[in-house]
Amino acid sequence: RAMPSNVEIKAKVGDPTAFAEKAVRLSQSEGEIIRQQDTFFNCSRGRLKLRDFTDGSGQLIFYERPDTDGPKLSRYSISPTNDPQSLQTVLSDALGVRGSVRKERRLFLIGQTRVHLDTVEGLGHYMELEVVMRPDQTVEEGQQVAEELMEQLEVSQESLVTGAYVDLLLKEQQDI
């Protein structure tokens, strides 16, 4: 079975208000606010996280993607849950917790791309582009969509970051 995939870009955002204004203009919407807590578990490859939407619903998400800056392919599988708390207990006991990330996400939809403006507790403001790939699209086509949107949103190459928020938080804790 082929896993669904997207092309992702993550970057630090210096001026979240200006970024939001551009995203509002391009998406022609105010965006949707989503509060979530992601708990990352130890696993032998890729990343496994439980996303708790704090409304009683959640998603167990496994994904694999290279830790490089710029557009990169991410393959993932998602299973919804109506009991994220008990699932977190079981997974914590079985695998151990790697780290946890709390964020407020403002989601904009622009074409086939999910644009996230994230306020991450302990890290600050970031944006993510997730170009949801169609089965007939090549990675290069997805990367081109991401790069064009980066230009329209005025995201600089210098602001790109690698890894997941949990990696950035764990690095911050080590540097203290």
Express each pLDDT in 19-61 by its tens digit: 999 999 999 999 999 999 999 999 999 999 999 998 999 999 9
pLDDT of residue 163: 87
**Bridge partners for 103 per DSSP:** 36, 120
| % of the chain at pLDDT higher than 90 | 85
The H or E element spanning position 97 is strand 97-110
Query: How long a stretch of residues is the chain?
Result: 176
The CATH number of the domain holding residue 147 is 2.40.320.10
8 Å CB contact between 23 and 153: yes
State how many domains the chain has: 1
Among residues 39, 12, 132, 139, which one has the least CA distance to residue 94?
Answer: 39
Give residue 166's domain range. 5-175
pLDDT of 2 above 80:
no
pTM (two decimals): 0.91
